[in-house]
Structures are given as structure tokens and as C-alpha cells.
Chains A and B, each alone.
Chain A
């Protein structure tokens, strides 16, 4: 059962990711991105990362996807119903990417990965909080500066008189 659910979620993720990069309509791409994010969330749950799964839904689906749809709406004339976009050199791109993914797949299945014994943690939130406040305090503060910079930068860039 869990096996079936895993492959279903993997198929959902990869299928909608394929839609994202191949759909003719930009809005269809954006909505396929929603299903990709939800599929990746499911894979996070399989990887025992419950906190990260919730963060993924809140930040990606609630934040980034809404931003992207806003971006589509603001950069196209809504009166023209057909918000389409084109791709160039699809054949060459597909060929190169196919070679790339087969090389990666060969590498993944031929490398003897070292796996350590693991057990499912009762809660990950507490462990992540401890690490953030102790081992990773400096990156944490740097990330807060980066977010402040991005906030000011994005506001300044999108002002009318800039």
C-alpha cells in the first residue's frame, strides 16, 4: 500500500513537472507547478520530514506560486485570452537533458551508497529548532539579513518612479 502511494506520488510529481515545462499555456504551467509542489510535499513526508513538508506547503504553494501567478497576470494583457509562451530548440534541449538524466541515473544506480541505520524520529521540529539556534545560528542570522535585503530590494525595484 505504501509502495503504491509512493509511486503514485512520484508519478504525480514528475508528470506535472513535465506539464510545467511543456505546456503551451503559461497559466497551465503555473497550475501544474502547484501539483508538483504538492507531490514533492508527499515525498518529504515519506522522508520523515514533517516540518519541512508543512513549510513547503506554506512557502511554495502559499507564497511563491501566488507570486508567480501575480507575475503572469501583471506581465500579460488579460484581454488577450490566450496567454501562451513558446519554447525554442526543444529537440536539442530534450536530447541534451535526456543524455544528462541517463548519466545521472547510471551514476545513482552504480554508486554503492553508504547507508547508516536510522529510525523514525518522534518529532523533527524540536531537533530542527535546536540546530537552528545552536549549530546554525550564523547562517540563520545571515538568512534573516538576506530576507530583509530581498524585501527592500523587491519593494524598491517595483516602485513606479524607479
Chain B
């Protein structure tokens, strides 16, 4: 179990699932969930390389920054999605193709 390849494989599968969610989902909130999966996969990579690269703590610091960015991104994205819902009465991102209605 304790090999770098196993962690990398898990994180690449997680990344691909997130990508699948982003490209196939049409609900704005669901697309956001896919993005969260992708960010988690990236974090897993950072920590795996940190541990197997001689327990270099820089990887963990970068993972911390990724978590900070994910929190900021989720807050702003949900504010935008709620605004879209108020203006268009839908959050199907295929229907939201105009800047102004």
C-alpha cells in the first residue's frame, strides 16, 4: 500500500471523476462539486510527493494554500450561481449564455 504509485493512481482517478462531473453536469452547483474533486486530487498529489520526496514540508504548505483558494472559490462561485438563479430563474449553465437578458 505504501507506494507513491498507489497514491498517484488514486488521485488521478479522483481527478478524472471530477473532470467527468465538470464536462457532463449541467447544473452549476454540480459543476462546482466536480471542481472540488479536482482540487482534492491535486492536494493528494502534493501530499504524496511531499511524503515520498523525503518528507518535504513545502508540499503540505502548498496543499494548505490550495485549501484556502478552494474556500474562496466556493464562496464566490456560489454567490455568482445564486445571482444567476435570481436573474434567469435557472442554473442550467447551457441556458445561461447571455450577459444581459
**A residues lining the B interface (CB < 8 Å):** 2-3, 6-7, 10, 13-14, 17-18, 20-21, 26, 29-30, 33, 36-37, 40, 43-44, 46-49, 51-52, 55-56, 59-60, 63-64, 67-68, 70-72, 74-75, 85-90, 93-94, 96-98, 100-101, 104-105, 108-109, 113-121, 124, 127-128, 131-132, 135-136, 139, 143, 146-147, 149-151, 153-155, 157-158, 162
Q: Is the CB of A26 within 8 A of B27?
A: yes
Looking at the assembled complex, report how far the CB atom of A42 sits from the nearest CB atom of chain B, in whole angstroms.
11
Write the chain B residue with the least CB distance to A157.
Answer: B79
Q: Which of A10, A64, A100 has the most CB of B within 10 A?
A: A64
Which of chain A's residues has its CB closest to B90's CB? A75
Contact with A along B34-77 (1 / 0, CB 8 A): 10110010011001101111110110110111011111111110
**Which residue of A48, A75, A132 is within 8 Å of B91 (Cβ)?**
A75
Question: B-side interface residues toward A, CB under 8 Å?
Answer: 1-2, 4-10, 12-21, 23-30, 32-34, 36-37, 40, 43-44, 47-48, 50-55, 57-58, 60-61, 63-65, 67-76, 78-83, 85, 91, 94
Q: Of A18, A49, A113, A157, which contacts B76 at CB under 8 A?
A: A157
Nearest-neighbor residue (CB-CB) of B53 within chain A: A116
